[in-house]
Amino acid sequence: MNKASLTELTAFELHGLLKNGDISADEVSAAFLSEIKNKQTATNAFITVCEGAADAVNGTLAGLPYAAKDNISTKGIRTTCASRILSDYVPVYDATVIENLRGSGARLLGKLNMDEFAMGSTSETSYFGAVRNPWDVGRSAGGSSGGAAAAVAAGMVPFALGSDTGGSIRQPSSFCGVTGIKPTYGAVSRYGLIAYGSSLDQIGPVARDARSCALALSAMAGEDLRDGTSEKCEITVPAEGVSIKGKRIALPKEAFADALSAGVRECVLGAVKTLEGLGAVVEWVRLPMLEYAVAAYYIIASAEAASNLSRYDGIRYGVSVLDKSLNLDEVIVRNRSEGFGREVKRRLMLGNFALSAGYYDAYYNKALRVKALLAQDFARVFADFDFIIMPTAPGAAPKLGESLDDPLAMYLSDAYTVPINLAGLPALSMPCGLMDGMPVGAQLIGKRFADSDILAAAAAYQDATDFHMKKPSAGATEVNV
């Protein structure tokens, strides 16, 4: 088998070949490292490449290469969060997911570019430059796990780890034409994930198809004593011929309102028709609190970020001024002012505003009440349905530079993904069509800890369609930029 064809296979297919001894782990790693070299200039998907990091471990993922978003701690490998303040930070311990994947025999090929501290929807707020979409390098790969989605779409890795606080795995997966799942809150340990919004953050895999995501997630999920919010969780890889016959799927009216572009509506409703054709029962429902989710989310996520990011002082780690004439406060303020980018500062200030005396009840507490009502909305629908389906994003990938100057417009583009994090549910984005040549994703949402069920439903859909196997033209990533 030649190198080019190896990088076109899904992680699930490669796993089968590796298990049977048809190909060697070194061959597979070499093929993907060569593809990383070829496509890094065009995509800027990686911040760090780990050449030759080969652990000869036998396990369920033995020999399968992957890369991890650069907010997931890797012992001895720089972990920057795409921020200047952590640009030289080298963790002294591994995140649990990294340990688990190493124990399964997976090989880490590098660390992926992202929005600074996972704050952004386009991967343009990175200190290391924007990620470019392999389908059109003039467009965003989405964010904040833009590097993860772009790397999988470009064939640089068969699967990647992202993190999702408000859509950061699903939205870039939609924009890059790949499959990505945000697991149930608590399904995957957050130990070693550099915190943004701790009540919302989850690590999850991005791959070409649902079976590959399930394979990766099965090696990552489960209880970890170092994260008190993690719970027992078994992931099943969807069987061949998996069926969704008789499954009840809800379509929320509010998610198909005017803000949705016609192209996305057409693609997602097309997916709904396919699922109906496979035997699913689809009905329209109401989710009235959906329209308040963005406001509540940006209050809660920013408030948690303001608290979490107060640890960055440049004293114990991180970039620091070494001027001995400055006192402690002056050093900390200077480190933070020079170390954080504009979007991070904006969210820290939004969070501190919402938590400050006089505004706490009107903003933070009110947002927590909206969260309670939103969770009730979802629970009401899930009493009668197995899944909810709606768009992942209101449009396809925007052009680079289009989104940064209007923060509110960028936040509003997260309207379909943030409600899921607030309710702690699992959700998956799967390719369901093209709009003006750019990929569009449909979002399948399940009950808490029904991660395997949504992966199975997505596998059934992907068995009947080929949107997930469409790839950007080779020329797109060979453009000199």
Residue placing its CB nearer to another protein in the complex, 158 or 424: 424
* Smallest distance from another protein to CB 433, Å: 30
Question: Is 144 an active-site residue?
Answer: yes
Nearest to 289 by CA among 367, 354, 349: 367
Give the CA distances from residue 74 to residues 5, 93, 94, 349, 429, in Å, rounded to whole numbers and listed in that order: 30, 6, 5, 29, 27
Single-letter amino acid code for the residue at 138:
G
Q: Report the C-alpha gap between 394 and 435 in whole angstroms.
A: 12
C-alpha atoms less than 13 angstroms from C-alpha of 447 in its C-beta half-sphere: 12
* End-to-end C-alpha distance for the chain, whole angstroms: 31
Residue placing its CB nearer to another protein in the complex, 84 or 208: 84
Residue placing its CB nearer to another protein in the complex, 265 or 345: 345
Q: Which entry of 126, 168, 403, 413 is annotated as an active-site residue? A: 168
Nearest to 172 by CA among 141, 151, 215: 141
Q: Which entry of 69, 111, 182, 371 is annotated as an active-site residue? A: 69
**Dihedral over Cα of 396, 399, 404, 406: its sign:** negative
Q: Which entry of 29, 144, 413, 429 is annotated as an active-site residue? A: 144
**Dihedral over Cα of 271, 184, 62, 240: its sign:** negative
* Smallest distance from another protein to CB 118, Å: 18
Question: Is 163 an active-site residue?
Answer: no
Residue placing its CB nearer to another protein in the complex, 337 or 480: 337
Nearest to 386 by CA among 245, 233, 277, 286: 245
* Smallest distance from another protein to CB 17, Å: 39
Residue placing its CB nearer to another protein in the complex, 256 or 292: 292
Question: Is 168 an active-site residue?
Answer: yes
Residue placing its CB nearer to another protein in the complex, 138 or 228: 228
The phi, psi pair for 225, rounded to 5°, reads: -65, -15
**Dihedral over Cα of 186, 188, 192, 196: its sign:** negative
Where b means 16+ CB within 10 Å and e means fewer, 40-59 reads bebbbbbbbebeebeeebeb
> Which positions are annotated as active-site residues?
69, 144, 168
